[in-house]
Structure 1
Amino acid sequence: MNNLSGLYILLAAGFSRRFGSPKQLHTLPSGSSIINTAIDALTKSGCDFVVAIREDDTALLAHLHHLNISIIKVKNAEQGLSSVIAEATEALHTRATDWIGICLADMPYIQSKTLTDLTSYVTPNTIIRPSYQGKPGHPVLFGRDYFDELTQLAGDDGAKSIIKRFPDALQAIDVEDSMVLYDIDKPESVR
């Protein structure tokens, strides 16, 4: 890690429509839930993080209640992923942080070492994205200079518009973790 302060936002505010049931609580073959597996990786990384969930997701809130983690309850999840990112970033505006990393809860197999290693590349004016065998992955880390952009996002396209608008700021970091490409959208994706 570098000396800049930052944190990951673990986005767990989706509706799991393609999955067919609340996937964050789905048990993986390891015996742990999808959300707990993602939280474990973040915890082991040594990085600060918060979990963004829908304010009306009582099942997930009850599940997370016993864990000693910070939670952001978002109101506008039905408007899409971009809106969740904007609302979560806005909720963090009072924190003194130099970067924010956007993690997706349905990508629980990303190695904690990858999460840690990516932080060493971020500066206030960069966007850091892992790349596995030339393919862009997640999480994406945004330096402080892009926080206002993050809070203005709307819709369901994530932060793609920021990445497209600032191509010179984007640094693709080669990683050996294929899980930066692997998400669980459907039950058959579970492994």
Structure 2
Amino acid sequence: MSTSTAGLLLAAGEGRRFGRPKALVRFGGEPLVSRAARILADGGCDPVVVVLGARAEQARPLVPDGALVVEAVGWEEGMGASLRAGLDALAGLAPAPDAALIHLVDLPGVGADVIARLGACAAPDVVARAAYGGVPGHPVLLGRRWWSAVAATAEGDRGARRWLAGRDDVRLVECGDIGAGTDVDTPADLPDPPRPRPNHGRRS
């Protein structure tokens, strides 16, 4: 039986340093929330759950069809509230997925190939995260076994950081050759948008 991996996108923040919610920011002509949800699906995650908060009424129409939307109560608290809301939503699915691949909306350097590489490690008891040049980053992959423990420690803007810091069994999956884990805090942090590939084909 194959392992089921859900994509959990945290996109509830108000983006104070950016000046607006990063879910609404466009990159390469596409809103970051739409791009990140699409990349989770393209990388093999099913279902995809998107957690919204700040200006959710504007972000919701940007979420791709087929993704599930959850609005985090108390999203102003920080990432912890979003993570709890997302994990609770996944635990309530029937059947619940075996693992959750937790992605952040402000990581435009993470593509579907990063998602697929990390998702290949999925199992009900997995604890893994992407690394870039050996430095731990996001996304993070958590088996279903750990969801309640993670949710219980997710407070403020730390998300799963405290829970992960206390473990010596976190598997690092190197992804620096295929992506970048740098987050976008200000407009100046946005990388150059991807360029369309030129079509060199000739008509016969």
Q: Same fold (TM over 0.5)?
A: yes
For 1:21, the equivalent position in structure 2 comes to 20
Which amino acid counterpart does residue 57 of structure 1 have in structure 2? A
Which amino acid counterpart does residue 135 of structure 2 have in structure 1? K
Q: Secondary structure at the match of 1:150?
A: helix
For 2:3, the equivalent position in structure 1 comes to 4
For 1:109, the equivalent position in structure 2 comes to 109
Check conservation: 1:41, 1:108, Cα contact below 8 A.
no
Match for residue 31 of structure 1 among 26, 29, 32? 29
Task: Tell whether 2:52 aligns with 1:53.
Answer: yes
Identify unmatched segments of 5+ residues in structure 1. Answer: none
Q: Which has the higher contact order (CA 8 A, sep 6+)?
A: 1
Query: RMSD across aligned C-alpha pairs, in angstroms?
Result: 1.8
Which amino acid counterpart does residue 160 of structure 2 have in structure 1? A
The separation in 2 between residues aligned to 1:157 and 1:55, in whole angstroms, is: 18
The separation in 1 between residues aligned to 2:124 and 2:40, in whole angstroms, is: 21
Task: Tell whether 2:133 aligns with 1:133.
Answer: yes
Q: Secondary structure at the match of 2:30?
A: coil
Q: Secondary structure at the match of 1:38?
A: helix
Task: Tell whether 2:87 aligns with 1:89.
Answer: yes
| Structure exhibiting the larger radius of gyration computed from Cα positions | 2
Q: TM-score, normalised by structure 1?
A: 0.89
Q: Secondary structure at the match of 1:161?
A: helix
User: Residues 38-77 of structure 1: matches in 2 within 5 Å?
Assistant: 38-48=36-46, 49-54=48-53, 57-64=56-63, 67-77=65-75
Percent pairwise identity: 28
Check conservation: 2:51, 2:69, Cα contact below 8 A.
yes
By how many angstroms is 1:182 displaced? 1.4
User: Residues 155-174 of structure 1: matches in 2 within 5 Å?
Assistant: 155-168=156-169, 170-174=170-174
By how many angstroms is 1:62 displaced? 3.3
Q: Secondary structure at the match of 2:138?
A: coil
Q: Relative to total residues, which structure has the larger helix share, 1 or 2?
A: 1
The separation in 2 between residues aligned to 1:111 and 1:31, in whole angstroms, is: 16
The separation in 1 between residues aligned to 2:66 and 2:179, in whole angstroms, is: 29
Q: TM-score, normalised by structure 2?
A: 0.84
By how many angstroms is 1:11 displaced? 0.6
The separation in 1 between residues aligned to 2:54 and 2:26, in whole angstroms, is: 22
Check conservation: 1:130, 1:139, Cα contact below 8 A.
yes
Check conservation: 1:82, 1:159, Cα contact below 8 A.
yes
By how many angstroms is 1:5 displaced? 1.1
CA change 1:167–1:23 in 2 (3 A) is same
Identify unmatched segments of 5+ residues in structure 2. Answer: 192-204
